[in-house]
Chains A and B, each alone.
Chain A
């Protein structure tokens, strides 16, 4: 427990504020979205980091943290900052190393009764077909020029090459392609790191999960119906990003920005991981183009993984994926910076919204949302720990006013990996999960122990906070039954 409660001013049961006077150089106050209980779990570095973010040039309204916030590098994970397009900066640290790390939710028309007898076979085949863990190499073999093409075409490359369905694009944020991506702005080292990684999960908290919709966990029938959810249905959720490629893009530009930030642009920062450049500068625009390449690569990574998932289900159930109803609900990013229009002081204003470990949560009516969801809001996919459960939420109109349409992205860790490994034994955890009806395949027991459910905040507490703060709407809670972990 900490003394953060003494540093913040209560605005409501789920909104807390730190004034500009807290730290020299802050341009805006900080707003923390959390319950009192979640505030107690927050590590002190979150406060240090988000108040550093508040010093960045051009930041609008507030520096925000979401209910799952925990410390990161430069920005906290669960941090949101919107910058003015002309006066503001772009910062790789505000996006995260794993650019366009995100979640994808896929439907089936199968029920738990259909899947239960084949669960082991499904998980074992998924484990074989979707490489996970340290150094995993994917099935998509491309050369350097094809890789560059991928970084500019995003998911459209997958559709052209037989790795997806046409409507997958509609159900992906940005339709799966960032059009301002320019592969001339990415380094050969970044390409070298990403070349073999298309179609791989990665490790850490990245996972692929088979889940069930229990009837009592459908909270909003209208919204659930709009996305194709029904009681006892089996769905697939997975979490991964742009792998080593995105990390290298972020590292390359972090170093470039450190070289020019102070000498050329007279920007002083409080943490090297907050390295930034004016958004409109050559360096800022180069990074924006390179980052979009990483976003596209990540879309391709998730799209090719989806292709493998469809192959596995089709193989196990001896029928086409189409007949199994394996459509996507949505693919949503939680490590990005996007140019968006939001209302500030009664006027619409364009800004670059950094979301690091935070999900875009557009409310009903926004043109960016697929037409079929436009009346209910943008799907928001919140991944929980492998033992507990995950959520489908929707964005709200209130989120636009509160957080520039941003919400949480997951549970948020409360225990370090080393401590988790000391406290939990992977083999025991595996057996305990099996008893609970969750079959897990992991690269190692050690990696499994690091991801124990008790190493995370309670997902329900996090989601409750987003609902009470009105930055999301609760739709469905999913229960895990099968899991592939890196």
Chain B
């Protein structure tokens, strides 16, 4: 599993660690981890609907934060859950832009085993680092 939930970092919420050997992989698996916090089985989410969006930020960690926040907003505004992601990241000296195609569907209370609602991505202990060939993201989602 490229991501894991960590006990006892945040008792009321969901603390997650994501590992990948690519930056794109970190974004994809962080997106999946966020959805998995709300739905037990990611495979129960059909990928019929595509949602394309771009996010940009001066800081790469804040780019990840903004990307995840977009998914939370779509869940609240349009009752959408996403389980697959295509991402393309362009990094320049002063800016990073991510182009995303998220695949998912509307929440289905009969098919989706829903868990806790992610209300927000927080900046508390939010971290994106690269050590040797491994990217690691740590985040706490507000439940």
A100 to chain B, nearest CB (A): 14
- Nearest chain-A residue to B8 (Cβ)? A416
Contact among B107, B115, B123, B143 for A444, CB-based, below 8 A: B115
Is B124 in the interface zone, CB < 8 Å from A?
yes
A residues near B49, Cβ cutoff 8 Å: none
- Give the most central of B6, B77, B116, B123: most A CB within 10 Å: B116
Which of B10-18, B85-93, B94-102, B129-137 binds A? Answer: B10-18
Is B55 in the interface zone, CB < 8 Å from A?
no
B29-53 CB contact bits vs A (8 Å, 1 = yes)?
0000000001110000000000000
Given A272-B123, A417-B143, also A71-B10 (CB < 8 A): yes
Contact among A244, A254, A416 for B10, CB-based, below 8 A: A416
Contact among B8, B40, B115 for A419, CB-based, below 8 A: B8
CA distance in complex: A419, B10 (Å): 11
B66-80 CB contact bits vs A (8 Å, 1 = yes)?
000100110111010
- Nearest chain-A residue to B118 (Cβ)? A134
CA distance in complex: A450, B39 (Å): 14
Which of A146-154, A194-202, A387-395 binds B? Answer: A194-202
CB pair B124–A77 under 8 Å, yes or no, is no
Given A203-B117, A417-B116, also A248-B73 (CB < 8 A): yes
**Interface size classification for chain A:** 35 or more
A297 to chain B, nearest CB (A): 13
B residues near A419, Cβ cutoff 8 Å: 7-8
CB pair A73–B77 under 8 Å, yes or no, is no
CB pair B7–A134 under 8 Å, yes or no, is no
A375-416 CB contact bits vs B (8 Å, 1 = yes)?
000000000000000000000000000000000000001111
CB pair A72–B107 under 8 Å, yes or no, is no
- Nearest chain-A residue to B11 (Cβ)? A413
- Nearest chain-B residue to A419 (Cβ)? B7
CA distance in complex: A243, B142 (Å): 12
Given A77-B12, A443-B109, also A135-B119 (CB < 8 A): no
CB pair A444–B40 under 8 Å, yes or no, is yes
A residues 55-111 touching B (CB-CB < 8 Å): 70-74, 77, 97-98
Contact among A43, A193, A272, A450 for B77, CB-based, below 8 A: A193
Is A137 in the interface zone, CB < 8 Å from B?
yes
Given A70-B12, A137-B79, A189-B73, also A450-B120 (CB < 8 A): no
B140 to chain A, nearest CB (A): 7
Is A446 in the interface zone, CB < 8 Å from B?
yes
A residues near B14, Cβ cutoff 8 Å: 417-418
- Give the most central of B79, B114, B126, B140: most A CB within 10 Å: B114
- Nearest chain-A residue to B122 (Cβ)? A73
CB pair A417–B119 under 8 Å, yes or no, is no
- Give the most central of B11, B15, B39, B81: most A CB within 10 Å: B11
CB pair B77–A97 under 8 Å, yes or no, is no
Is B113 in the interface zone, CB < 8 Å from A?
yes
Listed from nearest, the 7 A-B pairs whose CB atoms lie closest are A244-B76, A73-B124, A203-B117, A193-B76, A135-B79, A135-B107, A418-B5
In the assembled complex, 22 residue pairs joining A and B whose CB atoms fall closer than 8 Å, in A order, are A43-B8, A43-B11, A70-B11, A73-B122, A97-B120, A133-B117, A134-B38, A134-B39, A134-B81, A134-B114, A135-B75, A196-B77, A203-B143, A205-B12, A251-B120, A273-B124, A417-B12, A419-B8, A446-B114, A447-B115, A447-B116, A450-B115
A binding-site residues for B, Cβ under 8 Å: 43, 70-74, 77, 97-98, 133-135, 137, 189, 192-197, 202-205, 243-244, 247-248, 250-251, 254, 271-273, 413-419, 443-444, 446-447, 450, 486
Known: A244-B72, A251-B69, A415-B11. 19 other contacts (CB 8 A): A74-B124, A133-B117, A134-B75, A135-B75, A135-B76, A135-B117, A192-B76, A192-B77, A193-B73, A194-B76, A195-B77, A203-B143, A413-B12, A414-B11, A417-B12, A417-B143, A444-B114, A446-B113, A450-B115
